[in-house]
Amino acid sequence: MNDISKRKADHLDLAEKGDVGFKHTTTLFECVRLVHDALPELAFDELDTRCQLLGKTLRAPILIAAMTGGHERAERINRELAGIAEQRGLAFGLGSQRAMHRDRAKAKSYMVRDVAPTALLLGNLGVVQAASMSTAEVAELVQTVGADALCIHLNPAMELVQAEGDRDFRRGLATLERLHSELAVPVVAKETGCGLSSRAAQRLRSAGIRHVDVSGAGGTSWVAVETHRATDARKELGKAFWDWGIPTAASVALVAREGFESIFATGGVKSGLDIAKAVALGASAGGIARPMLQALESGGTAGALAFIEQIETEIRTAMLLTGSPTLAALRNAPRVILGELADWLRQEPNQASG
Ligand SMILES: Cc1cc2nc3c(=O)[nH]c(=O)nc-3n(C[C@H](O)[C@H](O)[C@H](O)COP(=O)(O)O)c2cc1C
């Protein structure tokens, strides 16, 4: 196994079994209370959970978020999860395609179109790698896997803790702007567990970006993952920044003010109720990474399917109990914002403009 494949295999092991959750920072979905409607006047089976995203219609607002690629285990995981996305009418994100850019033999582990011919498929590449590639090279990665859109991931916190990580994050915005204007598919600016602030969102909008995945704090801490892998002073650095990031619910609500076409709420999403709350805060869909991996690896395809079905049922239940026949109605459902989330929403924009 080369360095990238070894690192990706380590990531899967740590994400599946390791202590890589945030210690104190939560998503703050617990600060969102959707208001109960005792007279919903709706039939559970008639609720419409469909949504339009990046040119496709999803049967439910769920993304199986980017995780892997580049080795044999990744190939199995990608194919099984993509197959589930196809079967349930959901979106599926491939992991970083850097490995296949370096070595064409690795492309096989990202090929899922035969098992997911119609699912919304998102390609994936890090912004630092994309900065050093021509648009034609990036377009080739997208075309090879047949992706409908490309996630460009932003992960400065994780890179700083990783011994072999990137240190120079200049040209990030310019790269996103270039890919947005030159690629044939939409670009999704995606964090990886530290969230997007109002200021980051405003700069993305000014670069023309119309789609984001906030991937906020409260679920998998990628600083934690790299802290486990670190051996030197970076271990201490990782411990200090383990809980770094903007809680997912705060990030969704802040970013929703900036007029994006699509907002994926990834980061610590554990239930359909979390997704319903994210939609009420302005998200288009919820994304799930690590819990999906754990469901698959502990329960096989049947376990992963059961997990998704549970999430779907919870979304529908939240819709019925808030009197929301559609996701558009859920977006406007009455809610109460409590405590720390209310603090974020009151204070963060002032800092952005200051
Ligand atoms: C094993 C694993 C590998 C990941 N690899 C990638 C990746 O290659 N590219 C990316 O954008 N995000 C990657 N992520 C980040 C997730 O897409 C997601 O943003 C983050 O884990 C937070 O979601 P969660 O709390 O549901 O895990 C990975 C996550 C996991 C669990």
Give the pLDDT confidence score for residue 350 in this predicted structure.
Answer: 53
Give the pLDDT confidence score for residue 352 in this predicted structure.
Answer: 45
Give the pLDDT confidence score for residue 354 in this predicted structure.
Answer: 36
3-state secondary structure of 131: helix
For ligand 1, atom 4, which residue shows the shortest CA distance? Answer: 67
**Cβ contacts of 328 within 8 Å, gap of 6 or more:** none
Which atom number of ligand 1 is nearest to the Cα of residue 12?
Answer: 1
**C-alpha 303 to ligand 1 mean position (Å):** 20
CA distance 98 to 350: 37
Q: Is 96 in the pocket of ligand 1 (CB under 6 A)?
A: yes
311-325 CB burial, b ≥16 within 10 A, e <16: bbebbbebbbbbbbb
**C-alpha 77 to ligand 1 mean position (Å):** 13
Q: Is 251 in the pocket of ligand 1 (CB under 6 A)?
A: no
CA distance 113 to 121: 8
Q: Is 157 in the pocket of ligand 1 (CB under 6 A)?
A: no
Q: Which burial class, exposed, middle or buried, applies to 173 when counting CB atoms under 10 A from its CB (0-12, 13-18, 19+)?
A: middle
For ligand 1, atom 15, which residue shows the shortest CA distance? Answer: 192
pLDDT, averaged per 10 consecutive residues of the chain (354 residues), comes to 81 95 98 98 98 98 97 96 98 98 96 98 98 98 98 97 93 98 98 98 98 98 95 94 98 98 98 98 98 98 98 98 98 98 86 44
144-155 CB burial, b ≥16 within 10 A, e <16: bbebbbbbbbbb
